[in-house]
Amino acid sequence: MRVTAVYPGTFDPITNGHLDIIRRGVRLFDEVLVAVLRNPDKEPLFPVEERVEILRGAVAALPHVRVESFDGLLVDYVRSRQAQVIVRGLRALSDFEYEYQMALMNQRLGHDLETVFMMPSEAYSYVSSRLVKEVARLGGDITGLVPPEVVARLKRRFAAAGGRT
């Protein structure tokens, strides 16, 4: 049986921790479909089209990975793609409660789907999109935490905003 895994998220922007999870997913599943949420409650820094474009560039060299955007219920999207698995990264205990709630809600909504949690490399255990944006906005060095393309785009974005946003 071919197993397709959906890796959903806001990815605002993608970090090297996300990429690490995608690489691990490629080793386990026949296909990894990275799904970028179109309408998150949080107001994203990068519009969804740009987040998808950045992701496509970052995973270009990886086999069996596709990137799409989605809106609506995650379980509906997963089913529409004939996928069976939802992948989520778990960095620390602090992630657990939110992830646990989501996994149980998705289990209730989609009995046929499984959530699989994967641990990123320890080197990325403290890296989040939120912190990366904050450090970049304040002029700190984020090299090695996100793909080079993201470093460049964050620099441009915050230079244009003159440190605001």
Indicate whether 13 belongs to the interface with ligand PNS (CB under 6 A). Answer: no
Could you list the active site residues?
18, 42, 91, 129
CB of 12 to ligand PNS, least distance (A): 8
Indicate whether 102 belongs to the interface with ligand PNS (CB under 6 A). Answer: yes
Cα–Cα distance, 5 to 153 (Å, whole number)? 28
Which of 32, 33, 37, 78 is the binder for ligand PNS (CB under 6 A)? Answer: 37
Minimal CB distance to ligand PNS: which residue? 9
| Helical spans, DSSP H, in 81-165 | 93-109, 129-137, 148-160
Nearer to ligand PNS, 91 or 153 (CB): 91
Which of 10, 15, 16, 84 is the binder for ligand PNS (CB under 6 A)? Answer: 10
What type of residue sits at position 43? E
Indicate whether 116 belongs to the interface with ligand PNS (CB under 6 A). Answer: no
Indicate whether 73 belongs to the interface with ligand PNS (CB under 6 A). Answer: yes
Nearer to ligand PNS, 26 or 102 (CB): 102
Angle between helices 148-160 and 48-58 (to 10 degrees): 150
Q: What tokens were used for 89?
A: 């990264």
CB of 103 to ligand PNS, least distance (A): 8
- Are the beta carbons of 44 and 18 closer than 8 angstroms? no
Three-state DSSP string of 31-67: EEEEEEECCCCCCCCCCHHHHHHHHHHHCCCCCCEEE
List interacting residues with ligand PNS (CB under 6 A): 8-10, 37, 40, 73-74, 102, 105-106
